Amino acid sequence: MKNKNFLLTELLAFPTVIVANGEAPLNVFAVEMLKSASHIVCCDGAVRHLNKLNIQPEVIVGDGDSLLNADLSNANFRIETDKSTDYNDLTKAFHYCRNHHYHQIAVLCATGLREDHTLGNISIMMNFAAEFQIVMVTNYGIFSPIHSTTTFPSFAGQQVSIFSFCPDTALTFRQLKYPVQNRCFRHLWEGTSNEALTDFFTIEFQQGNVLVYRTFNLFCND
């Protein structure tokens, strides 16, 4: 695994972890984040991911529809049940974080298993990105929402994709294999499958909603 140390240091800067009920956290980064977290906010049945790691959350939030009695045995955490159908469990988890003034948040287990949930969860993250400092960590890489020029630590060969949610935002890419100069991306796919050239790269723009994805390895299936 390339440059594990700087990636882990970056991710451990997020003291609050929301655990959704998607693909189980198999990556070493996700497991280390859970072990080091100051606050773990768990979405309903996602507690089973934590039980397998012998980690207890601070709280379980959601409508309770995916909880089993076995999930709650020997529990030492709060359960905040919200039966509202206006929001899904991940949104309710963000509301909990807002109410408790947790502003640096890493979201785990929000992708995989169901593609519709993956797209929905990414959309929810983007909705809250102006309010919180957020990353979404999968078993393969990191999603980071940004709103202005940002420089990312990287390594040569790291796979990078950039998604612009504002088609009028002019973007410039520096230190990426496929450079871009003041280009507006009209479609989400246009900035995918780029590659870092050095130990950093920069996405330049004045304002907008941009999502940057970086893989953990040279090839995402390593």
Terminal-residue alpha carbon distance, the chain: 8
Say if strands 159-164 and 150-153 run parallel, antiparallel, or are unpaired. unpaired
Domain interval for residue 179: 146-215
Task: Out of 109, 139, 169, pick the residue that ends a domain.
Answer: 139
Residues 111-150: pLDDT tens digits?
A: 998 999 999 999 999 999 999 999 999 999 999 999 999 9
- Domain for residue 203, yes or no? yes
Considering the domain architecture, whether residues 65 and 160 belong to the same structural domain is answered as: no
Q: Which residues contact 198 (CB under 8 A, 6 or more apart)?
A: 154, 156, 175
Considering the domain architecture, whether residues 29 and 120 belong to the same structural domain is answered as: yes
Residues 2-17: pLDDT tens digits?
A: 456 788 899 999 999 9
Residues 56-106: pLDDT tens digits?
A: 999 999 877 776 666 666 667 788 887 878 889 999 999 999 999 999 999
Considering the domain architecture, whether residues 126 and 166 belong to the same structural domain is answered as: no
Considering the domain architecture, whether residues 107 and 21 belong to the same structural domain is answered as: yes
Does position 46 have pLDDT exceeding 70, yes or no? Answer: yes
pTM of the complete model beyond 0.85: yes
